[in-house]
Structure 1
């Protein structure tokens, strides 16, 4: 039985992430599981990159991402779901942050979307493939049509 689900979405791809959110909500509802929804923004404070940005840029990016995450959840699942899920905005490498959060929240299941692979993805591996490969819990991959 699943007790805790971590759903990873890309807030810049709202239309393609709708099915990911809906699937995670259905799975949470089936088992009465808690649902955490995460999006990951780049870490603008990194040494090389950080010199090009204002010191408050990272905080502003996280704040805006959290607002967009709330908007996304409300528009796709409704206000009722927006109130009962936990919204998480992480900063850093996408797959590393998802895996770390899954461990920290004791997630039983990660729900993540996957786009149709490009040739470069076969060589480098997309984030969803890395999450599947390295996760210590089950991963449900929602494929794009």
Structure 2
């Protein structure tokens, strides 16, 4: 059982999110904390020219609302939105907040992952805590 669980989510597959949240709920101690997190990556400057001035704020507000809704389905949970590079930001957050378990969903690896590496791969290789990877 774990007392401080981090569940990074990507809003591309609701079924995987629900599965990750259920695993976190199952593995948490009765008074364990669960943090549901999304990392909002920076939009390159050349692409920002094509977006409205308030795009990032509007998108961030919508994501925070989704995180709050997800956290409300779990005991002692909260939603957190951070900005940065996904893998590095998740690892840094886990270290700073003394996370003892990271529950992360992974897609089936493809050729691009052999060259670039996926976020889940980076987390499992460098995490300061136990990692539970969902497929």
TM-score normalised to structure 1 length: 0.80
Aligned residues: 135
How far residue 62 of structure 1 moved from its aligned partner, in angstroms, is 1.1
Kept after mapping to 2: 8 A contact 1:110/1:140: yes
Deviation beyond 4 Å, 4+ runs, structure 1 = none
Match of 1:118 in 2: 110
> d(CA) in 1 for partners of 2:3 and 2:67?
22
Deviation string, structure 1 residues 27-71 (Cα, Å, up to 9, x no partner): 11x463211110122223x54444443343222111100112233
RMSD (CA atoms): 2.1
How far residue 12 of structure 1 moved from its aligned partner, in angstroms, is 2.8
Match of 2:26 in 1: 26
User: What are the ranges of 5 or more consecutive residues in structure 2 without an aligned counterpart?
Assistant: none
How far residue 3 of structure 1 moved from its aligned partner, in angstroms, is 2.4
Other structure's SS at 1:58 match: helix
Match of 1:58 in 2: 56
Match of 2:65 in 1: 67
Kept after mapping to 1: 8 A contact 2:105/2:134: yes
Which one has a larger percent helix, Structure 1 or Structure 2?
A: 1
Other structure's SS at 2:2 match: coil
Kept after mapping to 2: 8 A contact 1:2/1:31: no
Distance 1:132 1:15, change over 3 A: same
Q: How do 1:103-142 residues align onto structure 2 when only pairs under 5 Å count? A: 103-142=95-134
Which one has a larger percent strand, Structure 1 or Structure 2?
A: 2
